[in-house]
A and B are shown apart, each in its own frame.
Chain A
Amino acid sequence: MSVDIDQVTDNTKPAPPARTTGRVPSGAGKKVKWALIDILVVAYALIPVLWILSLSFKTADGLNDKSFFPKEWTWKNYQDIFKTNEFVSALVNSIGIALISTIIAVVLGTMAAYAVARLDFPGKKALVGVSLLIAMFPQVSLVSPLFNIERNIGLFDTWPGLILPYITFALPLAIYTLSAFFREIPWELEKAAKMDGATPAQAFRKVIAPLAAPGVFTTAILVFIFCWNDFLFAISLTSTTSSRTVPAALSFFTGASQFEAPNGTISAAAVIITIPIILFVLFFQRRIVAGLTSGAVKG
């Protein structure tokens, strides 16, 4: 599995339209055509991002100048957001909450997925069914009950108050992705390791774990992005800077005066919160070597 956007779009691209010129498409012509389509798709995805990047470097006056490139470059928006305690604490909250949720969900998900993929136990179908049910449950309908419950038991506006629902909704995702990965591992390798003289623990550590790693990292990325991007729970279950995450904090930004739209600072903040995700993906992508298990079995 890959998180490479280009690759994903490659597979889903519609068939090229038939040529009307009557010329047989040559190899080079075909390549050019695909390159054009690729550029189109990438541009479609990236232009809004670049627009936000450009906005974040514009001065307050230049915000509405309808030009793609800032006429006057400024770091002011970035300086502004880091001057406010609001954004910095939101950033800390976001990173902390997303990381803790990711770690817990991936650890629990790994164990559950291992069991689902490997073992036959009573209630296995029920477990898979229930986790699917949770994944499909509309989160919106849970917001007000959760709000009331958390206020009553004192979880409202705390880190655990967000971590708990994040784990709940990330776990089905984790179990699904991971069990797909675990099913791919040829279990004969474990037997082979045992024959080669490994204890069960050694077989797991030296053979199974290295092969499961790409799946675990992929899942970690997906879960982290899910937690990082959440707005619904973040806006409803927090009220102060003590646990408000960046997506929620953004909506509380104000301009320099109340008649001024805070577009510049919101853009700057949006750029900043994209950076951890990019880092996270880049860091783990090296470990996601597609087809790592190829060559283990058969020809």
Chain B
Amino acid sequence: MAEIVLDKITKRYPDGALAVSEVDLQIADGEFIILVGPSGCGKSTTLNMIAGLEDISEGELRIDGQRVNEKAPKDRDIAMVFQSYALYPHMSVRENMAFPLRLAKVDDATVQAKVNEAAEILDLVAHLDRKPGNLSGGQRQRVAMGRAIVRSPKAFLMDEPLSNLDAKLRVQMRTSVSKLQKQLGTTTVYVTHDQTEAMTLGDRVVVLRGGLVQQVGSPQFLYEQPANLFVAGFIGSPAMNFLPGTLENGALNTPLGTVTLSDRIRRLAEAANAPRELIAGIRPEHFEDAKLVEGKPGGSFTATVDVLESMGSDKYAYFTVEGETATTAELDELAADAGSTDVPASGSSIVTRLAASSGAVAGQPLDLWYDSDKIQLFDPASGKNLTYTE
């Protein structure tokens, strides 16, 4: 168990690439922290620096108050689970899990006891004498976890440990990882670019972009109070809808029409010196079928349903609204990361989550309502959230 502190950690690769820039992070003892961000944002690099597999260019890394920049990985007492599992193919499952203990010169009886205990926890007892090559993906993943937990290290580092599993297994393993971490209470740094994993697993989430920390906070806080456009677009699935807007006398004008902002938002925008031209963000669940809403303040518009996905508990309706689209560097990067190819030729695409009782029909026009108190306003120049409150 350990407290890990990253003090202005910077990584510059020999070819000049700045992968991680001045990351400040305090990871409390026993905390489960998630590093999330699009591909190439420096997640693995950060993790490898904590592990000792990459040198730290600048800054200081402290584990339990001790500077460890110069320590070799084996002297840091940290275990790592790799995305590829990195199991030793010439060793049986038992030998794989025993390997760290053997290196630590633990006596034979203890090795057997610890390996059996870990196998018990991870449900691997039946496979102990098999080679990794003969295991399924999920079993391999568990062996990798087993190898990490046997020697009770100070901390676990996991680099996208579930990304090679199929969707169903991933959900299963996600719960087991979470349970295991709670059970062991070991400080864990977990890298993912899956925002569902980020939302469900961690005590706190760190959103990275281009080597810079965008925001640190609990999953719920990041969802409700994203510090900027990037975090707003990255956290949440389906993602937040963004529309260009103009603010005039407390009324917001977007391609969805004009809406009077709630007092709360108006005050926040004023306090933040909101510019006239800005970007409005509305989460899918803050839309509703207008017929199902009565008397609540908000804007309304009519649009044709492009696609309707009924999930049973609710319905996702997709629309295209004509007019200008919101474009900034952040939004382009998010779109590229999400691999969205079906960008409408003109206008912005809107995703809404409606109640199951909504009468929406694909191809038919629908009256929609959106909550004027849940609109978030962003500065297009800096990307800053103008409605952000601590």
List residues of A whose CB falls within 8 A of some B CB: 186, 188-189, 191-199, 202, 206-207, 210-211, 291-299
Contact = CB atoms under 8 A, between A and B. Distances in A.
B51 interface: yes
Given A191-B53, A298-B84, 5 more contacts: A192-B80, A199-B72, A296-B85, A297-B87, A299-B165
Contacts of B151: 197
B74 A298 contact: no
Given A197-B74, A295-B89, A192 B82 contact: yes
Given A188-B84, A295-B131, A297-B84, A196 B89 contact: no
Contact of A299 (B51, B80, B99, B164): B164
Contact of A296 (B72, B80, B104, B132): B132
B78 interface: yes
B238 to A, nearest CB: 28
Interface in B30-77: 51-53, 72-74
B90 interface: yes
A198 B133 contact: no
Given A195-B73, A197-B74, A199-B74, A297 B85 contact: yes
13 contacts: A186-B84, A188-B86, A194-B53, A195-B73, A196-B99, A197-B74, A197-B103, A207-B88, A211-B89, A292-B90, A296-B84, A299-B136, A299-B140
B79 to A, nearest CB: 6
Interface of B: 51-53, 72-74, 78-80, 82, 84-90, 99-100, 103-104, 131-137, 140, 147, 151, 164-165
Interface centre among A188, A189, A195, A299 (most CB of B within 10 A): A195
A189 B104 contact: no
Nearest 4 A-B pairs (CB), nearest first? A295-B133, A299-B137, A297-B84, A192-B86
B103 A194 contact: no
B86 A292 contact: no
Contacts of A196: 74, 79, 99-100, 103, 147
A158 B205 CA distance: 72
B89 A194 contact: no
Which of B53, B74, B87, B140: most chain A CB closer than 10 A? B74
Q: Which of A199, A206, A210, A296 has the most CB of B within 10 A?
A: A296
Given A191-B53, A197-B100, A211-B89, A295 B135 contact: yes
Contacts of B88: 189, 192-193, 207, 296
B86 A194 contact: no
B164 A195 contact: no
B236 to A, nearest CB: 29
A299 B136 CA distance: 7
Contacts of A291: 133
Nearest to B72: A194
Given A195-B73, A195-B80, A296 B103 contact: no
Given A192-B80, A196-B99, A298 B164 contact: yes
A194 B132 contact: no
Contacts of B80: 191-192, 195
Contacts of B104: 197
A291 B99 CA distance: 22
Contacts of B132: 295-296
A206 B98 CA distance: 13
Nearest to B132: A295
A293 B74 contact: no
Contacts of A186: 84, 86
